[in-house]
Amino acid sequence: MPVEKEFRPKIVAFCCNWCSYAGADLAGSSRLGYPADVKIIRVPCSCRVNPMFILRAFEKGADGVILCGCHPGDCHYSTGNYYARRRMTLLFSLLDYLGVEEGRTRVEWVSAAEGVKFSTVMNEFVDKIRSLGENVRLGDLRCKN
Amino acid sequence: MKKISKENLTKLFAAICEEASLILPLKNNGMTNFALWSEGDEVDLDTLKTVKSAKDAFFPQSETLYNCHREDGKLKISPGERMDENFVVFGVRACDKRGFEVLDNVFLSDPVDSFYKARREHGTVVALACHAPEETCFCSTFGIDSAEPGADVDTWFVEGDLYWKANTEKGEKLTARLSDLLSDADEKAVEEEKENIRSIMKKLPYAGITTEGWGGEAEKEKFDSPLWEELYKPCLACGTCTFVCPTCQCYDIKDYSTGEGVQRYRCWDSCMYSDFTMMAHGNNRTSQMQRYRQRFMHKLVYYPANYGGMFSCVGCGRCVDKCPTGLNIVKVIKAFSKKEDK
Amino acid sequence: MQRIGVFVCHCGSNIAATVDVKRVVETVKKEQGVVHAEDYPYMCSEAGQALIAAAIKEKNLGGIVVCSCSPRMHEATFRKAAERAGLNPYMVEIANIREHCSWIHKDMEEATEKAVILARAAIAKVHLNSHLQPGESLVTKRALVIGGGIAGIQTALDIAEAGYEVDIVEKTPSIGGRMSQLDKTFPTLDCSACILTPKMVDAAAHEKINLYTYSEVESVSGFVGNFSVDIRKKARFVDMNKCTGCGLCQEKCPSKKAKSEFNRGLNTRSAIYTPFAQAIPNVPVIDTESCVKMKTGKCGLCEKVCQAGAIDYSQKDEIITEKYGAIVVATGFDTINLDQYGEYAYNESPDVITSLELERVMNAAGPTKGHLERLSDGKAPKEIVFIQCVGSRCDDHRGKPYCSKICCMYTAKHAMLIRDKYPDVNVTVFYIDVRTPGKNFDEFYRRAVEEYGVNYIKGQVGKVVPQPDGSLLVQGSDLLDGKQIKMRADMVVLATAIEPEAGVRKIATMLTASIDTNNFLTEAHPKLRPVESPTAGVFLSGVCQGPKDIPETVSQAGAAAVKVIGLLAKDKLLTNPCTAESDTLLCNGCSVCQNVCPYGAIGYEDKEVNDHGIRETRRVAVVNSALCQGCGACTVACPSGAMDLKGFSNRQILAEVDAICR
Amino acid sequence: MQELVKRAKELLADGTVTRVLGWKKGDLAYNPEPAFFENEEALSEFVYDSFCGANLSKYMIEASKKEGKTLVFLKPCDTYSFNQLLKEHRVLREKAYIVGVGCAGKISAEKMKEAGISGILEVEGADALNPSETLKVKTLYGDKEVSYKDVMLERCHVCKGKDHMIYDEIIGESRDTLDGDRMEKVREIEAMSPEEKFAFFQSELSRCIRCNACRNVCPACSCRKCVFDSTKFDSAQKANVDSFEEKMFHVIRAFHVAGRCTDCGECSRVCPQNIPLHLFNRKLISDMNEFYGEYQAGADAETKGPLTAFTQDDIEPSEARERG
């Protein structure tokens, strides 16, 4: 029997510069590990994340996308994450409605001091994506080889 | 002349599929379009007009021209596949069949489009006469006989039977291959059916539409007409008319990055779109009036100028059916003849 | 397409131990546009930077990617290095292969693969970077200090001494803060008031310092160098200009039942009051909740007795707007609420008090005039138990996870002072650990134990039970002897955890300064930028940033002042060029971007456009780059994609996404 | 209809308006087209019948750029779109003279064909304000009858109401046509398993030919250049080469009009492949109503839409899912 190759998901994490990216830095300096499947993209604020970016990630082969921002009320720009929260609530709901598995998208609020939380969240998210398996519902076949 | 009873059609389809693939009108959620047949699909030969025409069979909405990727610092190019298997397009109406000829002029004349040519060579067209033409039909304007399409094979539904007549070598070959399922028939029933169809055609609301005054000679006069300025106004600049049209042949070439390489593909374009023929400096046509004019000038003036007077409208009436704002080529023709009457 | 150079840092072994840097270099060399790639042990070192500069010049690089530590650490360093080599500093991208890679992964294969992907993303992005130029903004040479405790006073004094205007906003009627409530200070046992009052007077008298007491910050807008702050001056009902501070009104006020905030509610005060005798300004305020005149319309005694005619019942809150170049947060702390700690019987017995309350009890101006007595019956206690770490170093939801830092020392101070003044009183201290890292601190603690005979027991108190005879039964454990202890006490003093002032979250939100889960304000860098908030132009002074004693607070106050002075000394600041920008030809003028802009940075103009031959006048969005802070909310709100963010453009982020997913 | 023409002529004559935006007779029984009428003579071709479903509000974007006022005939549901365009500064109020016209529900030839009627030559009883309960249809293949309700547009069965949200005057009374729950299908889909949902939309969207009719007819999609036509996001697409692209297009389109879509139903009306595009918009409307309070885009021209507002205690995406 051929040994099935271990599924290594592609995961994109959008992190706001002020809280979550710093939280990821703290997770790093505290040596709090999480799987290498997670790749972080730095954005100034969670409100910079366009639904287009998320769909594009899936298009190009991502298996999961997570957006991390400052806790509501703590946004460096006062209000950015409030807008992000509404946008993502609706986008995720629409993706669920389309039949994309719920676990593939997630929003978490992680402060600059929450290195532990960052690591925990990423571990959980990767586990979830691994259990869901490869994303086949929301990708462009041309990018799968 | 051969025939096969309606009940045995599925067998016929299966038999065709033994050595070729089969494209025919299938129903999906109430809408009928040409698609690849497989056992169990809902075949719909009653709907007169599929939403999209049959042109996809030879000129698909998109196709890959080539792939390229970097290998050891060098660009490697692998050409897209040309059709190399036989297929049958079944249930094509006379208008769509003429549509293929319109495309042939463009794609098979020099420089030959090898993708199109490969499909044409491998495809056999089985046409179906129009039992019940609709009010939006005006193929007779272009000299098309919906009672006798003249494809590789022509077929007619009469009562419970499908009558079958091969017209070309390809058609004969297909007929021979299916001979087990086809039985001999006399032409009487079909002749009656043809008469019936032709008599309905005469009663259609668009029966009197003529292309008088159009054609290559009319270029300057038509182009400069102030009528366009009035006609285009309700146009939404969507591409519905062009995408359901059996003769629209414009395409765009685009690149798609797959991460490891680039796929160059072509896809239908629409002259109604604001980025149609977009170049580095911008567009040739900057207003919707110009774009709107282009479509009809192409169908009724430029194309006949290039191809010996043949119009690139076949009167299928799909644009009449589908335009969101009730515009269509007949209204354009009528508007000009009304103007000329004055 | 840029000519790109990639520089991979070993960071000693920090990166190189987990990431095969040589392989990263070899792999990224194959990426499009990469014309140079090399590695070096310490890219951020002078030699590393020189290496980058040399490559930029020699290979005529148009963009560089540094694979190193977090951009939050050295992005500025590498940008400067690039700039010195003649490259626009915004043509630099950092791939974070330390914090986000080598430090969290163990497997070299995996970490190397990830490092390559992160580098690719940065390369893909830098291809689309553009030469950005920072703008300039003028600096308002005036600072705001929020909080008038010792931290705020010291910061203000230091800034004022450098010649800049400073305003202090203090929410209570007087400056002085927590330090004014203390009796003596460790480890010297100075009288707190004696050392604080001169500073308060200095602040009040300084020509560059302006006090807004009984005032609160209402809202903040603007940005570093250009803050605009609305300050609510709460109605005192006493005219500051007329009042002579004679105190007659307070004496005559018939309503004397309000709890004294200054004395931690241990005694009462009049409805018109100054919080304490040395209050600055020495102008009372009327507490509308307790004032008879305010409640019923009758009374008006204070108005009658005031010879200066300073009482004005019609006064209203006033909101003033001031401009500042810098803001210092010095909001201080309070003790935590003890409602959750039923086992200590704090709410049941008046003889269980907090240490801060003990300060007032020991103080000559306090509720007992400085006599050590039980608050229940006024009797002199014979047996006093101190309990340490009440709510500090706590791992459940009731308390705080952190050490409050000052309790060990003030408890030793209290114990020593009591033993000194009342040698017949037995003092027992229950502690978990005694932490005394500070100059003369451990000596001080040892004196308490050795010279003053304070009985230190390592162990926790499980329960304090008030007894019918008025005494308290303390049940605890002695961890060293491994036995349970039950002892009788006349007084129990709780070394209660401290936490940031309740209002700090609101202030942090207004300032868009980050705050941690314990409500302490976050510093820009825990080690290297401890007095700056991550928000430019906002500085931290005192306990609002973390628990501190007085000398530490004063040092930090001075440090914050230096940062402020450094900022105010500049005439102009360079502004972040990563601001939003609208593409006039794509803009619909629909206003949706304006609706989500937190800075009011987007306006609309009717502009003549030539859209590929179509000439017309259109309403289009225009971004004021001086106001825009670059959050990007507008870019997502904009449906046509007309609004984009420089430095984090749609195509740049998509390029990163593509590179990662490939 | 004569009343509309009469009023239009008056307003043209007294100089209140310089042109009239209405519907012009088609060349078949059922295909009137939106049209500008510049003078009294042109109005001889004016028509207002049950086939005049087209929402004219979007044409006011161009009309707002012209000299003088345009008289525009808006049905009750069209006025929501006009308000929304007004809110977004895409049309100018002072350039419009709005005559609110009554509506008794609109019908389409598409629906008649679905009902099995082909070869339509004449339709009797399709009066705009007072249509017959049963339409008499003369066809190439004999006379047919069909119930008006059966050929009414889906949107009319879930009509928002008879009131015009903005107008200068109203001519003609509207009729109640509401007999369905507009969220019924949304709920039905929500109750499906992810696999069923996916199969449902895959099957519907697979017919999409990217003709952009839905986008171009949509009054909320009023961008000068759509992101799918521009290079700003590298998202320019013309064909659904892969099934992902149609999902991308329709999800992003739904998202871009979220909080701005008035649920006018034009997208579904014009789709040549009959894709129920309104199901995307209604899902978002349903979510926004549930999470952020009832909101009807275009009910007025001032209120901020749900995506340009927030409250501090908005629902978290994860909580929203749990409610799912």
**Which residues of chain D are within 8 Å of residue B131 when distances are taken between CB atoms?**
none
**Which residues of chain D are within 8 Å of residue A105 when distances are taken between CB atoms?**
317
Q: So where are chain C's domains?
A: 4-127, 142-234+317-332+501-568, 248-305, 337-499, 580-645
Using a CB–CB cutoff of 8 Å, tell me whether B287 touches chain D: no
Degrees to nearest 5, angle at CA D231 with D228 and D234: 80
Whether D89 sits inside 8 A of C586 (CB atoms) is no
**Which residues of chain A are within 8 Å of residue D233 when distances are taken between CB atoms?**
50, 52, 56
Using a CB–CB cutoff of 8 Å, tell me whether B286 touches chain C: yes
Q: Which of C640, A97, A83, B28 is nearest to D282 (CA)?
A: A97
D160 and D220 fall within a common domain: no
Q: Which of C588, C650, C651 sits opposite D224 (nearest CB)?
A: C588
Q: At which residue do the structure tokens 């020189």 appear? A: C50
DSSP notation for D65-91: TSSS-EEEEE-HHHHHHHHHHHHTTSS
Which residues span the domain enclosing D213? 184-314
The minimum CA-CA distance between B50 and chain D, rounded to whole Å, is 10
**pLDDT score of D279:** 97
**Burial level of A76, CB count in 10 A (0-12/13-18/19+)?**
buried
CA D305, CA D285: separation in Å to the nearest integer? 11
The set of long-range contacts for B253-258, using a CB threshold of 8 Å and a minimum separation of 24, is: B253/B65, B254/D236, B254/D238, B256/A142, B256/D241, B257/C658, B258/A140, B258/A142, B258/A143, B258/A145
Whether B238 sits inside 8 A of D33 (CB atoms) is no
Decide if A2 is inside a domain. Answer: no
The minimum CA-CA distance between C587 and chain D, rounded to whole Å, is 7
CA B333, CA D52: separation in Å to the nearest integer? 23
**Residue C44, phi then psi, degrees to nearest 5:** -80, -10
Which ipTM score applies to this complex?
0.94
Q: Which of C613, C658, C661 sits opposite B282 (nearest CB)?
A: C613
Q: Which of A62, A60, A101 is nearest to D245 (CA)?
A: A60
Q: Which CATH class is domain C337-499?
A: alpha beta
- The distance of Cα C92 from the centroid of its chain, to the nearest Å, equals 32
**Residue A127, phi then psi, degrees to nearest 5:** -60, -45
D198 and D139 fall within a common domain: no
**pLDDT score of A51:** 96
Decide if A82 is inside a domain. Answer: yes
pLDDT, tens digit (0-9, with 9 covering 90-100), for B15-62: 999 999 999 999 998 999 999 999 999 999 999 999 999 999 999 999
Q: Which of residues 236-255 of B touch D (CB under 8 A)?
A: 236-240, 242-244, 252, 254
Give chain C's radius of gyration (CA, Å).
31
Whether B274 sits inside 8 A of D229 (CB atoms) is yes
DSSP notation for A11-27: EEEEEETTTHHHHHHHH
- The distance of Cα D289 from the centroid of its chain, to the nearest Å, equals 20
- List the end-to-end C-alpha distance of chain B, in Å, as a whole number: 51
Contacts of B71 (CB under 8 A, 6+ apart): none
The answer to whether C416 and C384 have CB atoms below 8 angstroms apart is no
Helix (H, G, I), strand (E, B) or coil at B325: coil
Domain limit, last residue, from D112, D139, D171: D171
The minimum CA-CA distance between B267 and chain C, rounded to whole Å, is 23
Decide if D211 is inside a domain. Answer: yes
**Which residues of chain D are within 8 Å of residue A56 when distances are taken between CB atoms?**
233, 235
D8 and D78 fall within a common domain: yes
Compute the average pLDDT of residues B316-331: 95
Q: Which of A39, A80, A111 sits opposite C514 (nearest CB)?
A: A111
**pLDDT score of B263:** 92
Bridge partners (DSSP) of residue C644 are: C581
Angle between helices C441-450 and C407-421 (to 10 degrees): 40
Q: Which tokens belong to D179? A: 């007999």
Distances in Å between the alpha carbon of C566 and those of B290, C159, C222, C538, C572? 63, 10, 19, 13, 12
Q: Which CATH class is domain C4-127?
A: alpha beta
Decide if A5 is inside a domain. Answer: no
pLDDT of A95 higher than 70: yes
Residues comprising chain B, all counted: 342
Decide if D177 is inside a domain. Answer: no
- Fold annotation for C580-645: Alpha-Beta Plaits (3.30.70)
Whether D238 sits inside 8 A of B254 (CB atoms) is yes
Whether D234 sits inside 8 A of C589 (CB atoms) is no
- CATH superfamily placement of domain C142-234+317-332+501-568: FAD/NAD(P)-binding domain (3.50.50.60)
Q: In chain D, what are the helix, strand and coil shares in percent, each to the nearest 5?
A: 35, 15, 50
D148 and D18 fall within a common domain: yes
Q: Which of C30, C612, C658 sits opposite B257 (nearest CB)?
A: C658
CA C205, CA C211: separation in Å to the nearest integer? 10
CA D86, CA C480: separation in Å to the nearest integer? 79
Question: For C79-130, where are the E strands, in sequence order?
Answer: 92-96
Confidence of residue D51 (pLDDT cuts 50, 70, 90): very high
Whether A83 sits inside 8 A of D307 (CB atoms) is yes
DSSP notation for B45-83: -S-SS-SS-GGGGTS-SEEEEEEEEEETTEEEEEEPPPP
DSSP secondary structure letter of residue C62 = S
Q: Which of A73, A82, A85 sits opposite D317 (nearest CB)?
A: A85
Which residues span the domain enclosing A137? 11-143
Size of interface C-D (CB pairs under 8 A): 60
**Which residues of chain B are within 8 Å of residue D54 when distances are taken between CB atoms?**
234, 324-326
Amino acid at C390: V
CA D133, CA B80: separation in Å to the nearest integer? 57
pLDDT of B158 higher than 80: yes
Q: Which tokens belong to B237? A: 């600049």
DSSP secondary structure letter of residue C607 = E
Please name the residue of chain A whose CA is at the shortest distance from the CA of residue D242.
A140
**Which residues of chain A are within 8 Å of residue D287 when distances are taken between CB atoms?**
89-90, 93-94
pLDDT of B342 higher than 70: no
CA C68, CA C303: separation in Å to the nearest integer? 70
Distances in Å between the alpha carbon of D30 and those of C133, C240, D23, D25? 60, 82, 12, 9
* Domain of residue A73, CATH code: 3.40.50
**Which residues of chain D are within 8 Å of residue C639 when distances are taken between CB atoms?**
223, 227, 256-257
**Which residues of chain A are within 8 Å of residue D305 when distances are taken between CB atoms?**
none
Distances in Å between the alpha carbon of A68 and those of A20, A23, A88, C96, D77? 6, 10, 11, 17, 40
pLDDT, tens digit (0-9, with 9 covering 90-100), for D23-36: 999 999 999 999 99
pLDDT of A3 higher than 60: no
CA A100, CA A129: separation in Å to the nearest integer? 12
Q: For chain B, which residues lie within 8 Å of any Cβ of chain A, measuring from their own Cβ? A: 256, 258-260, 263
pTM: 0.84
Q: Which of residues 590-629 of C touch A (CB under 8 A)?
A: 596, 598, 629
D159 and D204 fall within a common domain: no
pLDDT of D61 higher than 60: yes
The minimum CA-CA distance between A11 and chain C, rounded to whole Å, is 8
Distances in Å between the alpha carbon of A64 and those of A28, A104, B1, C69, C657? 21, 4, 61, 25, 12
Do domains C142-234+317-332+501-568 and C337-499 share one topology? The answer is yes
**Burial level of B107, CB count in 10 A (0-12/13-18/19+)?**
buried
Bridge partners (DSSP) of residue C280 are: none
**Residue C221, phi then psi, degrees to nearest 5:** -135, 175
Give chain D's radius of gyration (CA, Å).
20
- The distance of Cα A6 from the centroid of its chain, to the nearest Å, equals 21
Domain limit, last residue, from D116, D138, D171: D171
Domain limit, last residue, from D121, D146, D171: D171
**Which residues of chain A are within 8 Å of residue B259 when distances are taken between CB atoms?**
60-61, 143
**pLDDT score of B247:** 97
CA D275, CA C365: separation in Å to the nearest integer? 82
CA C160, CA C144: separation in Å to the nearest integer? 11
Show the low-confidence residues of chain C (pLDDT under 50).
none
Say if strands D142-147 and D134-139 run parallel, antiparallel, or are unpaired.
Answer: antiparallel
Confidence of residue A2 (pLDDT cuts 50, 70, 90): low
pLDDT of B72 higher than 80: no
Number of domains comprising chain A: 1
The minimum CA-CA distance between D319 and chain B, rounded to whole Å, is 35
DSSP secondary structure letter of residue C323 = E
Decide if D179 is inside a domain. Answer: no
**pLDDT score of D242:** 83
D163 and D251 fall within a common domain: no
Amino acid at C247: G
Confidence of residue B341 (pLDDT cuts 50, 70, 90): low
pLDDT of D1 higher than 90: no
The minimum CA-CA distance between D293 and chain B, rounded to whole Å, is 34
Size of interface A-D (CB pairs under 8 A): 120
Q: At which residue do the structure tokens 């225009």 appear? A: C622
pLDDT, tens digit (0-9, with 9 covering 90-100), for A39-58: 999 999 999 999 999 999 99
CA A28, CA C416: separation in Å to the nearest integer? 45
Whether B286 sits inside 8 A of C658 (CB atoms) is no
Angle between helices A115-132 and A20-29 (to 10 degrees): 100
Q: Which of D89, D225, D227 sits opposite C589 (nearest CB)?
A: D89
Decide if A123 is inside a domain. Answer: yes
Helix (H) or strand (E) holding A86: helix A80-97
**Which residues of chain D are within 8 Å of residue C592 when distances are taken between CB atoms?**
88, 308
CA C103, CA A31: separation in Å to the nearest integer? 6
How many Cβ atoms from other residues are within 10 Å of residue D67's Cβ?
Answer: 7
**Which residues of chain B are within 8 Å of residue C612 when distances are taken between CB atoms?**
282-283, 286
How many Cβ atoms from other residues are within 10 Å of residue C244's Cβ?
Answer: 12
Whether A86 sits inside 8 A of D307 (CB atoms) is yes
CA C333, CA C503: separation in Å to the nearest integer? 10
Question: For C336-412, where are the E strands, in sequence order?
Answer: 352-354, 383-390
Q: Which of residues 103-122 of C touch A (CB under 8 A)?
A: 103-107, 110-111, 113-114, 117-118, 121
Compute the average pLDDT of residues D189-197: 95
Please name the residue of chain D whose CA is at the shortest distance from the CA of residue C650.
D233
D133 and D201 fall within a common domain: no
Q: Which tokens belong to C393? A: 């170093």
Q: Which tokens belong to A93? A: 């709901």
**Which residues of chain C are within 8 Å of residue D234 when distances are taken between CB atoms?**
651, 654
The set of long-range contacts for B129-132, using a CB threshold of 8 Å and a minimum separation of 24, is: B129/B94, B129/B154, B129/B155, B129/B156, B129/B157, B129/B193, B129/B194, B129/B197, B130/B48, B130/B93, B130/B94, B130/B197, B131/B156, B131/B157, B131/B193, B131/B197, B132/B48, B132/B200, B132/D118, B132/D119, B132/D140, B132/D141
